[in-house]
Amino acid sequence: MTPLWTSEAIAEATGGTANSSFDVTGVAFDSREVAPGDLFVALRGEHADGHDFIPMALAAGAGGLLVEREVNGPFVKVADAARGLEDLGRASRRRTGARIIGVTGSAGKTGTKEALYRAFDRMSFGGAHRSLKSYNNHVGVPLSLARMPAMTRYGIFEMGMNHEGELRALSRMVRPHVAIVTTIAPAHIEYFGSEEKIADAKAEIFEGLTSDGTAIIPADSPHASRLYNVAARHAARIVTFGLRAGADVRVVEEAPSARGGTLVTAQLRTARLSFTVAMPGRHWVSNALAVLAAVEAVGGDLAQAGLALAEMNGLPGRGARRTLRTADGGEALLIDESYNANPASMAATLAQLGEERGERRIAVLGAMKELGALSESLHRGLADAVRAAGVSLAVLVGDEMAPLADALAGDVPVERAKDVTDVLDLLPGRLRGGDVILVKGSNSIGLSRLVDRLAAEEVAA
């Protein structure tokens, strides 16, 4: 196997000193995720020091170490391991000839990143790379860059933020040829105070664009002009996408597909394409338009991208669908949106729930975090979406959900739960054949535990 990094290359990239010659085939900073041949980066955190986990990393087969002090084992010693990881990420970016796409947004960025990866990986016969999981912060982005093989043809990187200036630093590290903002919504509004300031922070992704770079902006957003004005200072080209007329990449026709997705004809800047979006919901049609805009911007194969969108199924925690066996001998549909939630993504998934055919629609909704002073009004504001979805039972988890419970009183049956433990005891035995169950909430609420519990009754495909 061709090494990802040699000790000499690591030392050159980081300004460190190697105690021996070694090769590595991967990079990790969590000793529990180390695979044989990985470089283990011993990061120091607030609650733990990665140097304490070096024996575990070596036992797992680590091929080398990036450390701040001399240890037993093959290593490159640097003054600061976190800075060393950033330097390794920058070196990876310098050595690649890949076309790089950066993705951010208040919702949809992980799904869009995954769709982009599948499209580019398909058209390059395995030559695409992307950030795994939601590794989108000041540690995850340099890690994802450092993991990129030198011969990669397309690199797709998700970038997140919850404070001003974070995206600016990440984008300047990634230096994307294409930068996408999926949408603007009041996620993390606790730290910003307004959607306008969130839009400004998301627009920082454009500051890292290459000199020939393309900015891709959601035309349907009320903050589109704000994003456009920032992009105009940094991008060689600006492309808008959306469901409304006037966007550069837009829907011409759409219709439900037989399997729950959407048949779409889209007008792009240079072509018109008919394709299927396998993932249900209009928010996924919008995500697909952003994907096609990026593929077109780098001269990729649009037909292959369309096929990738048709084959893409739900991601765990982000739209995955499971058929469950119920106690009455029937089957129920579980929609797993348990990974995260903000007002925009809640509204979008509730709208999709309303399109599902079922005897009962059950919405298990966890509290939305980091909403600050607007938390009460934004939770209460979900009431219209719950009613419009025809929800038969709303199970509301977390203290922040009290305003929504009050707003739904008399209209929709509501059951309150303090935390996910209460729901584990409340829900599974009450499901019936024909039910459709949506599970969605901020990750810290832990609704993935409920999904795991329900999945124990999954019907084999």
- Domain 96-311 maps to which CATH number in 1.10.1530.10, 3.40.50.720, 3.40.1190.10, 3.40.47.10? 3.40.1190.10
Q: What is the mean pLDDT of residues 176-198?
A: 88
Residues 6+ apart with CB under 8 A from 339: 110, 134, 316, 317, 318, 443, 448
Cβ-count burial of 396 within 10 angstroms (0-12 exposed, 13-18 middle, 19+ buried)?
A: buried
Domain 320-455 has CATH 3.90.190.20: yes
Phi/psi at 62 (5° precision): -55, 135
Chain Cα centroid distance, residue 422: 28
DSSP category for residue 223: T
Cβ-count burial of 410 within 10 angstroms (0-12 exposed, 13-18 middle, 19+ buried)?
A: exposed
Q: What is the dihedral of CA 348, 353, 356, 360, to 10 degrees?
A: -170
**Residue 435: helix, strand or coil by DSSP?**
strand
DSSP category for residue 232: T
Long-range contacts of 73-76 (CB under 8 A, 24+ apart): 74/7, 74/18, 74/19, 74/20, 74/22, 75/18, 75/19, 75/20, 76/7, 76/10, 76/11, 76/14, 76/16, 76/17, 76/18, 76/19
Question: For a pLDDT cut of 70, what percent of the chain falls above it?
Answer: 100
What are 317-361's pLDDT values in tens digits? 888 899 999 989 999 999 999 988 889 889 989 999 999 999 999
- Domain 5-80 maps to which CATH number in 3.40.630.30, 3.30.70.270, 3.40.50.170, 3.40.1390.10? 3.40.1390.10
Q: What is the rounded distance in angstroms from the CA atom of residue 218 to the CA atom of residue 241?
A: 5
What are 306-319's pLDDT values in tens digits? 999 999 987 888 88
Residue 219 is predicted with a pLDDT of 97
pLDDT at residue 75 tops 70: yes
Residue 425 is predicted with a pLDDT of 79
181 in Cβ contact with 205 (< 8 Å): yes
Q: Give the 3-state DSSP-derived string for 78-92, with helices as H, strands as E and coil as C.
A: CCCHHHHHHHHHHHH
pLDDT at residue 414 tops 90: yes
Q: Helical H runs in 203-274?
A: 224-231
Q: What is the rounded distance in angstroms from the CA atom of residue 137 to the CA atom of residue 432?
A: 41
244 in Cβ contact with 282 (< 8 Å): no
The amino acid sitting at 459 is V
Nearest alpha-carbon partner for 234 in 196, 200, 203, 197: 203
Helix or strand run (H / E) with residue 348: helix 343-355
Unique residue bearing structure tokens 């600050």: 372
Which sequence spans correspond to the domains of the chain? Answer: 5-80, 96-311, 320-455
pLDDT at residue 461 tops 60: no
